[in-house]
Amino acid sequence: MSALDQANKLKAQFGDLISAPTEFRGEVSVEIADSGRIAEVCDFAKRELGFDFLVDLSTLDNYGDDPRWTAVYELAGLETNVHLRLRTHVSEEKSELPSVSSVWATANWHEREAYDMMGVRFSGHPDLRRILMWEGYPYFPLRKDFPLAGKPTEMPDVAFSKPAPLEGGPFVTSPGAADAAEREPRAKHVEQQS
């Protein structure tokens, strides 16, 4: 059974809650209109459609738009070799989704990362705490309104005490350079100091 067939079964089960499937470059996606029902949709996808593996759960910051965040669930059926993408939107005021860690155990760390980096909370999560940044860190570093150079911290034993220097930004290179070390801004900076 194809991903498109599976997406249509999902739509048949949940009706207007699920958008018509879209296909782009062989990948099928559906949108869930009510983010509060994402756990219910995921549970059905696992039990009835065979999506036994949550490949990834990521969040997108649509800064300036409402709803602000898009949560993206990448599902796979290991037996069927079928992949399906679920999307749902979360407003800045709510910024909370139901946890799917009871559906897939791997969601535990994915949800912790989404909380840690974007500030999206997951109700019903068994242990929603930071996974990359330290407890008590007041910011969410992958939000678009977080400065690219970082923010200073008052905890020098834990992290940098000054914003990290970017030397022209992490994506700026010298295209005519002979090798990768010469194209890398930080590598050039090191050479100039020695």
What integer pLDDT is reported at residue 186 of this predicted model? Answer: 47
Contact indicator for 147, 153 with CB cutoff of 8 Å: no
State how far the Cα of 76 lies from the Cα of 54, in Å rounded to an integer: 6
Q: Which of 51-60, 113-122, 181-190 has the lowest mean pLDDT?
A: 181-190
Mean pLDDT (the chain, rounded)? 86
Please report which confidence band the pLDDT of residue 184 belongs to, taking 50, 70 and 90 as the band edges.
Answer: low
Domain at 3-152: CATH architecture: 2-Layer Sandwich (3.30)
Q: pLDDT tens digit string along 15-70? A: 999 999 999 999 999 999 999 999 999 999 999 999 999 999 999 999 999 999 99
Taking CA atoms, 165 is separated from 3, 141, 147, 181, in Å, by 45, 16, 12, 18
Cα dihedral 61/107/100/38 (nearest 10): 30
Domain ranges of the chain: 3-152, 164-194
